[in-house]
Chains A and B, each alone.
Chain A
Amino acid sequence: MKHKATLISVLTEKVFEQDILDVLEEEGAKGYSIFEGGGNGPLHQHQSQHLSMVDEFRIVKIEVIVLNYELANRIASRLVEECFPEQPGIVSLSEVEIFRAQKF
């Protein structure tokens, strides 16, 4: 049985990770996943393949799925306002279809 839900996805640097998690926790979105990776930004290259002395500059993608669209919207606006006034980051919402709605 499929249910509509909203996926909140946040891309930022590892150094700012904790701020995002704090907001998610405060809003009750306790189940999230974090993926580490690399890439290229307008200012800085984030290494993923080879040695990087500063681990905190790696890119992280934090994903959380919530059933309630209003909640997703509120979390996204809080993230943009509180965590990214000047920090680099991308916040996006996308509609997803999930199974096992009781898990969320």
Chain B
Amino acid sequence: METLVSFFNLFISGFQTPTLGFLMGGMFIAAMGSRLTIPDQVYKFIVFVLLMKIGLKGGMEIRNANLAELLLPAIFAVLIGVIIVYLGKFALSRLPGIKPVDAIATAGLFGAVSASTFAAGMLHLDDVGMEYEAWVSALYPFMDIPALVLAIVLGRLATEKKQGSQEVAANKRKAVSIKFIIKDSLQGSALSALILGLLLGLLTKPEPVYEGFYNPLFRGFLSILMIIMGIEAWQRLSELRRVAHWYAVYAAIAPLAHGGIAFGLGAIAHYATGFSPGGVVLLSILAASSSDISGPPTLRAGLPTANPSAFIGSSTSIGTPISIAIGIPLFTELATLVF
């Protein structure tokens, strides 16, 4: 009971933090029919700065870190990405009114990672004073890429089975290869920025520019990003209404279930190699989040028959708000209880 009260208090105080409050604010003005727009370029720039900050911090810390510690969480990150896709495929394709390829694409997007949710999670841990390894950001591609690759491979198998291989063979121009999907994910805006930040942090000495520019901007930029995410979440709801309602149910349950699985695996890493509680929380948040920037175009290119309204609608309008509003405080509270 006390735990419930404590979680409830945390949730209420969560509404007053810039992260969640601004997300709700964005949803509110969109619901009121506001014509406020924030230009795409601004949004892209903000995501770039946030990921550079996360990458730089991670890179600077990897310099002094024992890389063997990274190994187990990285293996778990891959494993989580794979489990999420199979779990989603299994759960969604059993529900009425859902095409197999749409189910797989949606599961793939939920297996992939959201930069904004991850940034919000890091800020929350900073606020509550929970320590974490900054190299956790390096786990991002380990979860993101396997989930997208697996989803596209499974999705292609599902459509080929349906159409017969002759027709698919006509698609000579872009025979989907694993190499191509990996290249496409790495070239996406989110991963490019993160990897650039990691490399610069690792190979150069960016401390002055990090302390003077990226770090101070982080909190303010994240608050603007949250408003944008809120507006987008509300606008995408209309798309979600066009597809089966089961997507909404999946999108509401999946982030917490995925985070729970990651929390369990993270706890194993905690006891085996001393992975920090904050690291376990961030691993859970990576798992709970669903990609909103680079995942959708990669899936669209790889699985053109999948309905984007299904996967973007469930991810952006329900999955992301749930993982930010409930996932982040829930897993943080769980970590203080368990460890």
Contact = CB atoms under 8 A, between A and B. Distances in A.
B254 interface: no
Interface of A: 13, 15-16, 19, 22-23, 43-45, 47, 49-57, 81-83, 85-88
Contacts of A82: 170-173
B308 A56 contact: no
B40 A15 contact: no
A23 B174 CA distance: 12
Interface residues of B, number: 34
A95 to B, nearest CB: 28
A44 B308 contact: yes
Contacts of B235: 47, 50
B43 interface: yes
B97 to A, nearest CB: 14
B43 A51 contact: yes
B184 to A, nearest CB: 10
Nearest to A56: B297
Interface string B132-153: 0000000000000000000000
B105 to A, nearest CB: 12
A36 to B, nearest CB: 11
Interface of B: 37-40, 43-44, 159, 167-168, 170-174, 228, 231-232, 235, 238-239, 242, 292-293, 296-297, 300-301, 304-305, 307-309, 312, 316
B293 A87 contact: no
A89 B235 CA distance: 25
A87 B306 CA distance: 10
Contact of A86 (B38, B39, B305, B307): B305
Contacts of A85: 167-168, 170-171
A23 B316 CA distance: 34
Contacts of B292: 53-54
A85 B301 CA distance: 13
Tell me if B's interface is mostly helix, strand, loop or mixed.
Answer: helix
Contacts of B305: 86
Contact of A54 (B38, B228, B242, B297): B297
A5 B301 CA distance: 33
Given A54-B297, A55-B40, A57-B308, 6 more contacts: A15-B300, A16-B304, A51-B38, A57-B297, A86-B171, A86-B305
B144 to A, nearest CB: 16
19 contacts: A15-B297, A19-B173, A43-B307, A44-B239, A44-B308, A44-B309, A47-B235, A50-B37, A51-B39, A52-B40, A53-B316, A54-B293, A54-B297, A55-B297, A57-B300, A81-B170, A82-B171, A83-B173, A85-B168
A57 B313 CA distance: 13
Contact of A56 (B38, B171, B296, B309): B296
A55 B232 CA distance: 13
B41 to A, nearest CB: 10
Contacts of A81: 170
Contacts of B38: 51
Nearest to B299: A15
The 4 closest A-B pairs by CB, nearest first: A56-B297, A87-B304, A85-B171, A82-B173
A57 B296 contact: yes
Contact of A53 (B167, B232, B308, B309): B232
Contacts of B297: 15, 54-57
Contact of A16 (B231, B301, B308): B301
Nearest to B297: A56
Contacts of A52: 40
A50 B172 CA distance: 35
